[in-house]
Structure 1
């Protein structure tokens, strides 16, 4: 299979990739060119921001009298993207004179069903920037080959409906498939930009639904605990993962009256210490900081030393539980202080729920 040349990030040595939006733009450009000229450009080049001009090999192509169809394989570089390797296709047909570019959701591309997203209810889930890329490329092809630029573009993603179940889309009210995303067209490995974008859209959807209380949860166990504890509806649950900072910074600008932060003691111990990215590769639990918390709470020297030399946060928790000291509550209080610091006085009341691996609540604050 021909691979698109991808650039590497000098710092990490990881390959950049191309967003679904960039792939849909390439497929559309090839299909519309073929509709006007009878020939598919292969590879097809597109123009992206920051002076990037990637070329995509066509994986499939088909020309009919009134329609052209082209597909490219998405290469997300070294990012663990759910759509890496997916076949992204565009079917282009002539539209009514003066209609401009109309977008349709083909197989595997979702449709918006809830307010609060940057697209109206009923629209295909092709985000504003990919739409702009596609419009610009349609206009350029029309200018080069004497077309009107009035086209219907139907974007499809193979197995998209199945892949979408592994994403936030069902919770955001995007049904039937994936979203066509991307702002620059480039996937930066492990920037997790699509996850962070989903957190923001989740807050937008909760606000549009009038939710007064949302929960940012590090994983499925803490999500279940928060949901049961407060009886929260599905669209009030934010799959925060490791991105506590993303939740807090967005709520600072777009407040909801109440936020619960829920997670395991290890991740929330990092938040208590001031880390806003809770991923194991990017922040570590400081047992010195935990020992200090325990010392300030009046623990004896043996327990302080035990916590300082603990091998996991759960180990530290078990030692404190045995000694009758509520480490979970201390961590919750510290995590709440960090959260309030990031919120900078925004009208958001915060509480924290700390759980162990089994989903038992071991601290509140």
Structure 2
């Protein structure tokens, strides 16, 4: 199989743990150029160390991140780990250096105010320290990834409440090529953060179009959750966490698929946009010639022009929105209320059902902005 030949790498957490081992080896006069770690799942990791040196604050080691065949944004960046011995009884104290964020919102695996160094890396570093210095060792560990200041802008960290840089992550220390399951699970913490912020109603956006327009409509940023193509998975995750209502908010090209019962919306997996629009347009009286024209449209935006000329755009889009909500609620066996609001690429409101209207009103959305869009 293709995945069997793909190379694994090691996480930023494993880089930091290797840096701790290398710094302690350097301190004791032993070779440090390559260290061996046992990942938390028992996988042996052989990690090269680029450099180790003494500083005014202790001993610093530099390890270059290797992501294998995973498309990880931190591949090739330097992870710097500085150790400093503390007074007996202080235990291991973690500090955030340059490029490492701090947690500012509840709901993540690290408390508010702490460096964004996840539990997995903390445990892995703890194992290294215990192995080399004993269970009662007291050590300050400062992790820095200078490139993290810029890289954080390419992550969900600003939404999740990690400010000032990236997180030091890794469940075991081994970085295997990103699976679909791994990517899906990386989206879920958004729900936890929103819930901890006090929101029992969330706004699900498949991408940046929905997010941008939702903010323009006055919906709260803290309640907005990006789902990517995994709408069904994220709906289930929200229901399991006790979320009461979800507003599906985004471009008609994605949400028309949900109206057809498609909950994984990647275009290579399912692309029923035009067929769904054509079916509901035909049911509302679009003549056969118009249906054929709609089916041969290049994009959903082109298809909307067909509906517009026939005077059916508002009616069909409202039906599609209601249908998307109904299919989503059926998908969840009625355990959560779902509303849907569809927009164009330009942000013009197309279709909306009653649940969506109620959610928007409860959030106090900008009615004037919505009316302005409707007449564009």
Shorter-chain TM range is 0.7 to 0.9
Residue in 2 that maps onto 1:31:
23
* Deviation sequence 1:322-353 (CA, Å, 0-9, x none): 2222343343233223322343333x432112
- CA shift for structure 1 position 178: 0.8
SS for the counterpart of 2:225 is strand
Match among 112, 129, 134 for residue 120 of structure 2: 129
Q: For 1:317 and 1:340, how far apart are their aligned partners in 2? A: 26
Residue in 2 that maps onto 1:337:
326
Contact 2:204/2:224 (CA < 8 Å) preserved in 1? yes
Match among 135, 139, 149 for residue 151 of structure 1: 139
Answering whether residue 34 of structure 2 is matched by residue 46 of structure 1, we say no
Q: 1:330 to 1:46 in 2, by over 3 A?
A: farther
* Deviation sequence 1:82-102 (CA, Å, 0-9, x none): 322221121111122133222
SS for the counterpart of 1:114 is coil
Match among 169, 183, 194 for residue 171 of structure 2: 183
SS for the counterpart of 1:88 is strand
Answering whether residue 61 of structure 2 is matched by residue 73 of structure 1, we say no
5+ residue gaps, structure 1 = 1-8
Q: Which moved more, 1:314-323 or 1:11-20?
A: 11-20
Equivalent residue runs for 1:341-356 within 5 Å: 341-346=330-335, 348-356=336-344
Q: For 1:14 and 1:273, how far apart are their aligned partners in 2? A: 36
Q: What TM-score do the two structures reach when normalised by structure 2? A: 0.83
Contact 2:85/2:140 (CA < 8 Å) preserved in 1? yes
SS for the counterpart of 2:289 is helix
Equivalent residue runs for 1:86-125 within 5 Å: 86-125=77-116
5+ residue gaps, structure 2 = 354-376
Residue in 2 that maps onto 1:166:
154
* Deviation sequence 1:143-198 (CA, Å, 0-9, x none): 5xxx8532111111122122212222222222211111121334444536675455
Q: What TM-score do the two structures reach when normalised by structure 1? A: 0.85
Contact 2:257/2:276 (CA < 8 Å) preserved in 1? no
Aligned residues: 351
Q: For 2:173 and 2:14, how far apart are their aligned partners in 1? A: 5
Superposition RMSD on alpha carbons, in Å? 2.7
Q: 1:116 to 1:51 in 2, by over 3 A?
A: closer
